[in-house]
């Protein structure tokens, strides 16, 4: 069997059905092998689109998304999305071509040490130097990417190895996803700590979403009456309307929820990773007992030294914990009620404001009011991300995606494209700024070619809005952040999309409903946004905290 054919057969055994990427010379043998493979190859206009599609695939399914590029610039273009997968804990396998092995030791066309370059942004990075090891390498890659905290893996296939003939055969290892919990002794220690706590708070991170523990965590909160907050990436770990929800924590400046963390004497961190929000920002005020619950031990940090740790499958740990909770663990008084009421009142301010350009709160209220409970929102990175995190309520797991680890711009449209491709009956929306829209616009023609009708909502202010906001916050002025945009709605139409431009606040919701009803191709809605609200929010919080 030719090595490139074997490579794809091994991916088939792993359950791979699609791979997105960009064709090149050094991955040509793989591309030819796709002609006889059950795997569909989606040819994108840029490797970043392919990588970000694979990120969202991993986040939504829990199985590896796969992307592909060639050597040199193909590998470097793919790298940003791979790094995002690794830091945001999405299982991903990246495949790159490479020059023939006879010239890897010397300076030659497009040749560079891609494996070394990728080591800092993957869980494992390797090259295949003999066709006979392809089944082992691919099985190991998928095992590593999907185990523990998920992440990215790189496989490099030199072009001469891809041409080799081999007798090796595909195989698949037994998935190593055991129902791993902990000892009764350790659970009892946690229960004892909870019974002694006066003002416990639960902090839910991305691991609480990834590990599919919505029911177990909800049961725990129901049994204990604890208040809970979630990070940007923890949205959806509980329903946002949970009766003791303190909503989202993670803004770069103090928000109302921090008052609860200051008062708390115990924090139960569930699937929380420090990349989401530094512990020095919430581990303040009263001395706290910290309880770490995750699939891996905690990262060492002077402000995050857990007193107790439960390490294993999060849903299994909570099943054990829920079975051993005593009445002493339950809190009868609504101890953070005042903080919660302040937060809820603040979130509801201006949600019906008819001003134009539109207020961020109004845009997000209209989106939430329009999308189904299982509708998916993929946020890009920019000023809008802060508003999505603070204002938009997730009702189910894996319905809101906000990168707050690697935080690359331009990932929302490829992510929405993949989400809608995977789940064509669900409503899928990408929310991005005009800066991120122009960076990621290469996803639109792929969506048009595939006939995938996801919706893009572009918040237009003609600036790099988040950077302007932070410059104003720290310097009282801004520099080099102005954007000279074309007509973005017409640009979308030129790519073959449905294009809309909002001219009044009252128009937005009906246009969104129309765009969500489209079935043939992507829609782009350009919404002028009033980002004077950014600094107004900062000043408002200073005055009420």
Residue 505: enclosing H or E segment and its boundaries?
A: helix 505-517
DSSP 299: P
Report the alpha-carbon distance of residue 464 to residue 330 in Å, rounded. 47
Instruction: Quickly state the pLDDT bin for 181 (edges 50, 70, 90).
Output: confident
481 three-class SS: coil
Task: Give Dmax (Cα) for the chain.
Answer: 72
pTM higher than the cut 0.85: yes
CA distance readout (Å), 520 to 50, 191, 497, 503: 21, 54, 9, 25
Instruction: Quickly state the pLDDT bin for 99 (edges 50, 70, 90).
Output: confident
41 within 8 A of 55, measured Cβ to Cβ: no
CA atoms within 13 A on the CB side of 522: 36
214 within 8 A of 239, measured Cβ to Cβ: no
Instruction: Give the number of other Cβ atoms within 10 Å of residue 39's Cβ.
Output: 15
* Nearest residue to 230 (alpha-carbon basis) of 350, 400, 60: 400
Instruction: Quickly state the pLDDT bin for 544 (edges 50, 70, 90).
Output: confident
pLDDT at 236: 97
Residue 155's Cα: distance from chain center in Å? 23
Q: Where does residue 449 rank: exposed (0-12), middle (13-18), buried (19+ CB within 10 A)?
A: middle
Tell me the per-residue pLDDT of 392-444, one tens digit each, with 9 for 90 and over.
999 999 999 999 999 999 999 999 999 999 999 999 999 999 999 999 999 99
Residue 524: enclosing H or E segment and its boundaries?
A: strand 523-528
79 within 8 A of 92, measured Cβ to Cβ: no
Name the CATH topology of 3-162: Rossmann fold (3.40.50)
Instruction: Quickly state the pLDDT bin for 42 (edges 50, 70, 90).
Output: very high
Report the alpha-carbon distance of residue 540 to residue 528 in Å, rounded. 23
Report the alpha-carbon distance of residue 34 to residue 320 in Å, rounded. 46
Report the alpha-carbon distance of residue 227 to residue 201 in Å, rounded. 5
pLDDT at 506: 97
Report the alpha-carbon distance of residue 113 to residue 117 in Å, rounded. 6
Q: Please compute the mean of the pLDDT values over residues 495-505 and round it to a whole number.
A: 98
67 within 8 A of 50, measured Cβ to Cβ: yes
Task: Write down the architecture of domain 349-544 according to CATH.
Answer: 3-Layer(aba) Sandwich (3.40)
**C-alpha angle 373/147/142, rounded to 5°?**
95
Q: Where does residue 285 rank: exposed (0-12), middle (13-18), buried (19+ CB within 10 A)?
A: middle
CATH number for the domain running over 184-340: 3.40.50.1220
Domains 3-162 and 184-340 share a fold: yes
Query: Can you state the percent helix, strand and coil of the chain, rounding each to 5?
Result: 45, 20, 40
Whether the pLDDT of residue 534 is over 90: the answer is: yes
Q: Please compute the mean of the pLDDT values over residues 448-471 and round it to a whole number.
A: 97
191 within 8 A of 325, measured Cβ to Cβ: yes
Residue 55: enclosing H or E segment and its boundaries?
A: helix 47-61
Residue 287's Cα: distance from chain center in Å? 32
Give the length of the chain. 545
261 within 8 A of 196, measured Cβ to Cβ: no
pLDDT at 323: 97
CA atoms within 13 A on the CB side of 160: 8
Report the alpha-carbon distance of residue 358 to residue 366 in Å, rounded. 11
pLDDT at 110: 66
* Nearest residue to 279 (alpha-carbon basis) of 338, 349, 231, 209: 231
pLDDT at 94: 98
* Nearest residue to 236 (alpha-carbon basis) of 369, 109, 393: 393
CA atoms within 13 A on the CB side of 323: 10
For the chain, the C-alpha Rg in angstroms (whole number) is 24
In percent, how much of the chain has pLDDT > 70? 98
Report the alpha-carbon distance of residue 428 to residue 53 in Å, rounded. 14
In percent, how much of the chain has pLDDT > 90? 92
As a whole number, the mean pLDDT across the chain is 95
pLDDT at 470: 93
pLDDT at 543: 85
70 three-class SS: coil
Whether the pLDDT of residue 105 is over 80: the answer is: no
Report the alpha-carbon distance of residue 423 to residue 396 in Å, rounded. 15
CA distance readout (Å), 229 to 256, 261, 312, 440: 11, 10, 22, 31
CA dihedral (299, 288, 213, 218) in degrees, to 10, reads -170
Where are the chain's structural domains?
3-162, 184-340, 349-544
Whether the pLDDT of residue 176 is over 60: the answer is: no
Q: Please compute the mean of the pLDDT values over residues 295-312 and round it to a whole number.
A: 95
């Amino acid at each position: 069997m030719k090595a490139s054919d074997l490579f794809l057969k091994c991916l088939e055994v792993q359950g791979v059905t699609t791979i997105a990427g960009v064709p090149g010379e050094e991955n040509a043998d793989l591309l030819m092998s796709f002609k006889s493979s059950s795997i569909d190859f989606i040819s994108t206009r840029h490797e970043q689109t392919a990588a970000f599609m694979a990120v969202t695939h991993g986040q939504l399914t829990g199985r590896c998304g796969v992307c592909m590029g060639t050597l040199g610039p193909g590998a470097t273009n793919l790298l940003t999305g791979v790094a995002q997968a690794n830091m945001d804990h999405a299982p991903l396998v990246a495949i790159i071509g490479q020059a023939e092995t006879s010239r890897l030791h010397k300076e030659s066309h497009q040749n560079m040490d891609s494996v070394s370059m990728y080591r800092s942004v993957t869980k494992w990075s390797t090259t295949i130097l003999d066709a006979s090891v392809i089944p082992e390498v691919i099985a190991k890659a998928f095992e590593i990417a999907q185990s523990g905290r998920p992440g990215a893996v790189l496989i490099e296939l030199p072009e001469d190895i891809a041409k080799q003939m081999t007798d090796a055969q595909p195989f698949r290892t037994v998935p190593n996803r055991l129902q791993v919990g902990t000892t009764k002794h350790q659970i009892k220690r946690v229960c004892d700590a909870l019974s002694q706590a006066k003002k416990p708070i639960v902090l839910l991170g991305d691991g609480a979403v990834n590990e599919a523990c919505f029911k177990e965590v909800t049961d725990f909160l129901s049994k204990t009456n604890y208040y809970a907050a979630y990070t940007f990436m923890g949205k959806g770990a509980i329903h946002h309307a949970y009766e003791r929800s303190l909503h989202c924590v993670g803004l770069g400046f103090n928000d109302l929820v921090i008052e609860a963390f200051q008062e708390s004497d115990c924090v139960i961190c569930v699937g929380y990773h420090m990349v989401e929000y530094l512990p020095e920002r919430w581990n303040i005020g009263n001395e706290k007992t910290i309880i770490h619950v995750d699939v891996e031990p905690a990262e060492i940090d002077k402000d995050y030294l857990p007193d107790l740790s439960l390490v294993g499958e999060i849903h299994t740990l909570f099943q054990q914990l829920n079975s051993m909770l005593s009445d002493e663990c339950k809190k009868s008084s609504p101890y953070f009620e005042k903080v919660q009421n302040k937060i809820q009142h603040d979130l509801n301010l201006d949600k019906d404001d008819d001003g134009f350009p539109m207020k961020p709160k109004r845009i997000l209220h209209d989106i939430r009011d329009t999308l189904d409970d299982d509708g998916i929102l993929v946020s890009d990175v920019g000023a809008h991300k802060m508003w999505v995190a603070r204002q938009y309520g997730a009702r189910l797991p894996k319905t809101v995606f906000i990168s707050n680890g690697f935080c690359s711009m331009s990932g929302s449209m490829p992510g929405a494209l993949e989400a809608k491709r995977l789940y064509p009956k669900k409503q899928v929306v990408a929310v991005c700024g005009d800066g991120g829209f122009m960076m990621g616009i290469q996803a639109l023609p792929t969506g048009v070619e595939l006939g995938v009708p996801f919706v893009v909502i572009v918040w237009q202010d003609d600036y790099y809005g988040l950077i302007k906001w932070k410059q104003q916050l720290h310097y009282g002025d801004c520099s080099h952040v102005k954007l000279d945009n074309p007509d973005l709605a017409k640009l979308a139409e030129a790519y073959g999309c449905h294009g809309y431009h909002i001219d009044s606040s009252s128009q937005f919701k009906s246009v969104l409903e129309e765009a969500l009803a489209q079935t043939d191709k992507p829609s782009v809605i350009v919404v002028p946004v009033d980002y004077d609200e950014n600094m107004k929010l900062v000043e408002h919080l200073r005055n009420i905290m």
